[in-house]
């Protein structure tokens, strides 16, 4: 039976990414020699939009890039992926967002981002895309843009009964004017700790539950915490109960973008009407496939690629 094609609007932050693989991250004053390099598209919102589109969603991007070579690359990529770009602006006086990623031999990353044109997204631009948001099944947002348009988009979607997903990265404190309009929050353990001020250990389910309960106490309806090789932890505010969904075991090449692949796939599963456990299982497979590739976009899998994980 054919799967439904959910309508998803993504606040599509874009960063052109420069990745260098090194034996270890440089210490203060140290220069290290890289063994591999990759230059290409990135940005959490862009990654999430592509992940959802490759899994069959009808995706509309809402964002801003520069009128430069990197911005042209973003627009061209989204068109090639079948993403609706009518709500994407190109700014003349600011560069497209940039990211520098240092990747060590264990596949762990350290990332610096310059938001650039992403900071030009405004609440007024969100309002201009109001009809697309009203007719969506899911709105997906992250924190690589300014908080005002994120807050505005979440509130607009909530008013119209559209499910909202917020990936709170890069992590920063959020108040209830944001959290209170989030149906599903998808932090990793570090982001959950930053948001709550509580310690979170991926191997300690009780610590995950405490942080998730805190977030739900501040307005979030569901927390789906990504825990890397430990899978994901789901907590429901209505039942005050949680459970861990196991990860798919794969060889790790590059962890960059795994959370974005997860969030994009979760949006697709929930947009199709799948249960949380079914949607998280799909998202776990998407995150697992992503870490088997160098660079994010090559790691955003199709249904066939995710099914082939075994």
Mean pLDDT of 209-231: 96
Segment among 37-46, 50-59, 60-69, 190-199 with least mean pLDDT:
37-46
Find the mean pLDDT for residues 20-32: 90
The pLDDT value given to residue 3? 67
Q: Once rounded to an integer, what is the mean pLDDT over residues 196-216?
A: 96
**Among 18-27, 114-123, 167-176, 300-309, which stretch is predicted with the lowest mean pLDDT?**
18-27
How far apart, in whole angstroms, are the C-alpha atoms of residue 118 and residue 42?
12
What is the mean predicted confidence (pLDDT) over 176-192? 97
Q: Where are the beta strands (DSSP E) in the chain?
A: 7-11, 15-21, 36-42, 58-66, 84-91, 97-103, 109-114, 138-142, 163-167, 184-185, 222-226, 232-236, 241-245
Helix (H, G, I), strand (E, B) or coil at 221: coil
Q: What confidence score (pLDDT) does residue 212 get? A: 98
Q: Domain limits of the chain?
A: 7-13+43-95+118-299
Average pLDDT over residues 144-153: 96
Residue range 234-243: average pLDDT? 95
Residue 1 pLDDT grade (very low, low, confident, very high; cuts 50, 70, 90) = very low
The set of catalytic residues is: 260
Average of per-residue pLDDT across 216-224: 98
Q: How confident is the model at residue 276 (pLDDT cuts 50, 70, 90)?
A: very high
The confidence band for 103, taking pLDDT boundaries of 50, 70 and 90, is confident
Q: Give the strands of the sheet with 109-114, arranged side by side.
A: 36-42, 15-21, 97-103, 109-114
Q: What is the pLDDT of residue 83?
A: 98
Task: Look at the block and give the residue holding tokens 């042209």.
Answer: 72
Q: What distances in angstroms separate CA 291 from CA 17, 196, 253, one per listed residue?
A: 16, 27, 6
pLDDT band at 2 (very low <50, low <70, confident <90, very high): low
**For the stretch 80-106, what's the b/e string if a residue is b when 16 or more beta carbons lie within 10 angstroms of its beta carbon?**
ebebbbebbbbbeebbbbbbebbbeee
In the chain, what is the greatest distance between 2 CA atoms, to the nearest angstrom? 58
Q: Which of 25-39, 142-156, 198-212 has the lowest mean pLDDT?
A: 25-39
To the nearest whole number, what is the mean pLDDT of the chain? 94
| The pLDDT value given to residue 309 | 85
Q: Give the architecture (CATH level 2) of 7-13+43-95+118-299.
A: 3-Layer(aba) Sandwich (3.40)
pTM score above 0.85: yes
Mean pLDDT of 283-302: 93
Q: CA 66 to CA 211: how far, in whole Å?
A: 37
């Amino acid at each position: 039976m054919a799967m439904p094609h959910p309508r998803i609007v993504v606040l599509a932050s874009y960063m052109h990414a420069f990745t260098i693989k090194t034996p270890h991250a440089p210490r203060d004053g140290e220069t290290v020699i890289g063994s591999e390099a990759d230059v290409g598209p990135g940005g959490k919102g862009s990654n999430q939009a592509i992940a959802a589109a490759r899994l069959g969603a009808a995706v509309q991007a809402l964002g801003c890039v520069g009128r430069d070579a990197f911005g042209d690359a973003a627009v061209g990529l989204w068109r090639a992926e079948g993403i609706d770009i009518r709500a994407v602006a190109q700014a003349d006086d600011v560069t497209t967002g940039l990211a520098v990623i240092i990747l060590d031999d264990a596949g762990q990353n350290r990332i610096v981002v310059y938001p650039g044109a992403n900071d030009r997204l405004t609440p007024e631009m969100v309002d201009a895309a109001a009809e697309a948001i009203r007719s969506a099944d899911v709105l997906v947002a992250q924190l690589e843009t300014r908080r005002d348009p994120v807050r505005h988009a979440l509130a607009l979607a909530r008013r119209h009964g559209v499910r909202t997903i917020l990936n709170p990265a890069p992590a920063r404190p959020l108040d209830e004017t944001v959290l209170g309009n989030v149906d599903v929050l998808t932090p990793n353990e570090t982001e959950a700790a930053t948001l709550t001020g509580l310690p979170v250990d991926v191997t300690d389910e009780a610590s995950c539950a405490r942080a998730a309960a805190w977030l739900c106490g501040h307005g979030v309806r569901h927390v789906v915490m990504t825990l890397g090789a430990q899978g994901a932890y789901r907590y429901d505010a209505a039942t005050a109960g949680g459970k861990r969904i196991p990860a798919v075991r794969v060889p790790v090449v590059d962890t960059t973008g795994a959370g974005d692949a997860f969030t994009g796939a979760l949006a697709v599963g929930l947009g199709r009407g799948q249960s949380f456990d079914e949607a998280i299982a799909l998202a776990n497979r998407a995150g697992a496939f992503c870490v088997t590739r160098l660079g994010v976009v090559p790691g955003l899998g199709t249904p066939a690629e995710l099914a082939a994980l075994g």
